[in-house]
Structure 1
Amino acid sequence: MDILIVTPAGKGTRKGNRVTALRWAGHLRALGHRVRLGTAYAGEPCDLLVALHARRSHGAAAAFRAARSGAPLVVALTGTDLYQDLPASAEARSSLALASRLVVLQPRAERALPEEVRGKVRVIYQSARPVAPLAPPEGAFRVCLLAHLREVKDPLLAARAVSRLPASSRVSLVHLGAALDPADAARAAEAAAAEPRYRWLGDRPRREALRTLAGSRLLLVTSRLEGGANVVTEAIANRVPVLSTRIEGSLGLLGEDYPGYFPVGDAAALAALLDRAEREPAFLEELRARVEALAPLVAPADERARWRALLEELGGPERARPSAGEEE
């Protein structure tokens, strides 16, 4: 098949949507398909459009459906689609109706969707591979945060949590992620100046970020919402325990009863978990064992197999129209 993947994250960015699109392109090419990436659909011929982001890629989805009414359209749903945009965005809801299938990154995502489209939903877990760890300084209990400075990520919550730890704590927080405006950079620099155990390194190459994660004792996820964060699957692949806000995206990946959750926005609760993980080896080992058990879900072979099954299910252009009971 000739496949076009549309993502609002343009070439050269390190945003999560671009990372996902590039990885999917690799899987689809390995399955024998021709794949191109773009930020819009301009009427070019293709057998399948994969639109990443229901609201922001709605224009591409609508243009493709108008031009190729019988061709398959897959809409992949992000966290902002599921947990922010859908109630208020007619464009996001229209993308659900236009789609032949809807891809989500963890099984709890289906709960956020209207019942009439749930039959279109297919779960494709994001995959990751282990990397060689970047060793922390001797004696440090390094934890990491891989998040751009965006409000939805609440990234400075982690610095506030570390500042609550006792003076004897060996926790060292390394934060990698781009500042999207100068004011965000200034706030991160101010937080680092106030708390010597917090270091913000800015936008770093993806390989460095992954190696930092692999060499850390914990990954912190402070987001207010996520669709199924790729950084969590990267932690799972590298057997790094996770402390995360109790949000649907993490619950769907780590499980309802995973013991490393804290409430959204609660620096004191995160500090308590950090303190416990540092002081109680049994708790840290419990977190690690729970993460290790999830490793098969994030294997690249599983993600590729799920894409193969989805494409076989669609069966090509002649079978792409919504099935009986689905909205045209």
Structure 2
Amino acid sequence: MKIGLITPAAPRSRAGNRATATRWARLLREAGHRVSVREAWRPGDPGFDVMLALHAWRSAESIAAYAARWPGRPLIVVLTGTDTYRFQHSDPGVTLASLEKAHGLIGLHDHVHRDIPARFHDRLAIVRQSATPLPASYRRPSAGAFDVCVVGHLREEKDSLRAARAARDLPPESRLRIRQAGRAHSPDWAAAAEAEMRINPRFVWHGEIGQGGVRRLYARSRAMVISSVMEGGANVVSEACVAGLPVLASRIPGNTGLLGDDYPGFYPPRDTLALRVLMQRAEREPDYLQQLTAHCRAMAARFTPRAERLALRRAIDQAMR
């Protein structure tokens, strides 16, 4: 088939939407489809056998224009975290109109149905994002420190400096260190990260680094913190699980929907003290760290490229019925 992928993120961007579109384009091409990745669809642009639009709110103009021009052609809208947990409440007219126009919806974690209107449930398919495992020989955690990584652009939705703040008042004997990678979304976030490094010897911000650098960071870390207050189903969870890296995560739907409600590494969002307790427990209690590691490893099979490709195919088939 000829498939269009619309993502509001620019080419060469390391934003999650662009990474998802790029990976899906590769998976769909491997399955024999012709795929065009665009930032928008406008009247006069070619039609597709199927069009997938990432972000109900940011891609709303493309969704409306395509639905008006090609009302009978399958249109799938991919729900991001800000769609589900922000824009459907702050701008419901635009966001829900995109969902109404869609023949199919894709969510990126298992609990999306809990947070969208029931009338859309029969259109919803779940596609968990995949990751490539690290070679076994690659895992070499730092010997002199208990490194905990945080990976993701610095912005409000990620509550990005929560782990750094949780590490401030640890006892002197703790070897815990926060190593964070990701581009600051604003000068204020960059200034906040730099200020944190000046007052917090346990925190290092590496800025934006490439995928190779991220994989090396995983390999040298003992755990990962995912501190977001809203997520659509973060790919870093997939990456941590396939890397055998235990996760300490905020208890939000985007995390419980990937790790399960009963995962033992959750803390209440924005709760610095609760996160500090979990980090200390991970450092001090090998059995607890192994429990988290075993849970994440058990989830890894859900995040393979093959599983993602099959889920994409099911979502497209469902929308074409």
Alignment partner, residue 27 of structure 1: 27
Partner secondary structure for residue 264 of structure 2 = coil
- Take 1:61 and 1:33, find their aligned partners in 2: how far apart are those partners? 21
CA offsets per residue over residues 78-97 of structure 1, 9 Å max, x none? Answer: 11111111123211100110
- Take 1:111 and 1:80, find their aligned partners in 2: how far apart are those partners? 15
Q: Given that residues 131 and 211 in structure 1 are in contact (C-alpha distance below 8 angstroms), is that contact kept between their aligned partners in structure 2?
A: no
Partner secondary structure for residue 206 of structure 2 = strand
AA aligned to 1:111 is: R
> Could you list the runs of 5+ residues in structure 2 that have no partner in the other structure?
none
The root-mean-square deviation of aligned C-alpha atoms, in Å, is 1.3
Pairing 1:213–2:218 present: yes
2:69 to 63, 67, 70: 67
- Take 2:139 and 2:262, find their aligned partners in 1: how far apart are those partners? 30
> Could you list the runs of 5+ residues in structure 1 that have no partner in the other structure?
320-328
Pairing 1:166–2:168 present: no
CA offsets per residue over residues 20-75 of structure 1, 9 Å max, x none? Answer: 11111111111111111111002322221100001001111111111111100000
CA offsets per residue over residues 280-314 of structure 1, 9 Å max, x none? Answer: 00000000011111111101111111112233334
Alignment partner, residue 108 of structure 1: 111
Alignment partner, residue 92 of structure 1: 95
Q: Given that residues 142 and 220 in structure 2 are in contact (C-alpha distance below 8 angstroms), is that contact kept between their aligned partners in structure 1?
A: no
Q: Given that residues 176 and 283 in structure 2 are in contact (C-alpha distance below 8 angstroms), is that contact kept between their aligned partners in structure 1?
A: yes
CA offsets per residue over residues 246-288 of structure 1, 9 Å max, x none? Answer: 1000001111111111111111111110101100000000000
Alignment partner, residue 80 of structure 1: 82
CA offsets per residue over residues 215-237 of structure 1, 9 Å max, x none? Answer: 31111011111011110011011
In the TM superposition, residue 134 of structure 1 has moved relative to its aligned partner by 6.7
Counterparts of 1:136-147 in structure 2, within 5 Å, are 136-147=141-152
- Take 1:121 and 1:314, find their aligned partners in 2: how far apart are those partners? 9
Partner secondary structure for residue 111 of structure 2 = helix
- Take 1:68 and 1:107, find their aligned partners in 2: how far apart are those partners? 30
Q: Given that residues 134 and 212 in structure 1 are in contact (C-alpha distance below 8 angstroms), is that contact kept between their aligned partners in structure 2?
A: no
List, as ranges, runs of 4+ consecutive aligned residues in structure 1 with deviation greater than 6 Å.
none
Alignment partner, residue 55 of structure 2: 53
Q: Given that residues 135 and 212 in structure 1 are in contact (C-alpha distance below 8 angstroms), is that contact kept between their aligned partners in structure 2?
A: no
- Take 1:200 and 1:100, find their aligned partners in 2: how far apart are those partners? 43
Q: Given that residues 14 and 206 in structure 1 are in contact (C-alpha distance below 8 angstroms), is that contact kept between their aligned partners in structure 2?
A: no
- Take 1:310 and 1:158, find their aligned partners in 2: how far apart are those partners? 36
Q: Given that residues 141 and 219 in structure 2 are in contact (C-alpha distance below 8 angstroms), is that contact kept between their aligned partners in structure 1?
A: no
- Take 1:17 and 1:309, find their aligned partners in 2: how far apart are those partners? 20
Alignment partner, residue 257 of structure 1: 262
Alignment partner, residue 242 of structure 1: 247
TM-score when normalising by structure 2: 0.95
Alignment partner, residue 230 of structure 1: 235
Alignment partner, residue 307 of structure 2: 302
Partner secondary structure for residue 271 of structure 1 = helix
Q: Given that residues 17 and 54 in structure 2 are in contact (C-alpha distance below 8 angstroms), is that contact kept between their aligned partners in structure 1?
A: yes
Alignment partner, residue 18 of structure 1: 18
Partner secondary structure for residue 86 of structure 1 = helix
Q: Given that residues 108 and 232 in structure 2 are in contact (C-alpha distance below 8 angstroms), is that contact kept between their aligned partners in structure 1?
A: yes
In the TM superposition, residue 136 of structure 1 has moved relative to its aligned partner by 4.5
Q: Given that residues 224 and 245 in structure 1 are in contact (C-alpha distance below 8 angstroms), is that contact kept between their aligned partners in structure 2?
A: yes
